[in-house]
Amino acid sequence: MKREKDLTVKGIDFELIPLTQAVHTVHDVQVACGCKTSEVIKTLVFIGDNPITIIMPRNKIVDLSKIKEITKEQKTKNGKAVRSIDAHKL
């Protein structure tokens, strides 16, 4: 997995837990992994000329102004727009 390699290259300590069932909610993750709510992360994808993937604690909110600053874009797409591109439920 590309993200696994990215984390390893950056020296970030993590544990990859393969799932045997689909997960869509924090509760699903807790049941599948046997972990605490505070241990769950979320992955956000913003599409534009400079796409960015953000992995963050599930209880945090992304600062869209920082996304614009990092990507140098005024408009990025997420959520519904990404679903229309890849048809995956987010």
Segments of the chain scoring below 70 in pLDDT: 1, 74-90
Q: pLDDT tens for residues 13-39? A: 888 878 888 888 888 888 888 888 888
Range of the domain at 79: 2-86
CATH code, domain carrying 38: 3.90.960.10
How many structural domains does the chain have? Answer: 1
Backbone dihedral angles phi then psi of residue 30, each to the nearest 5 degrees: -60, -45
Q: Which long-range contacts (CB under 8 A, 24 or more apart) does 21-30 make?
A: 24/89, 26/58
Q: Record the pTM.
A: 0.53
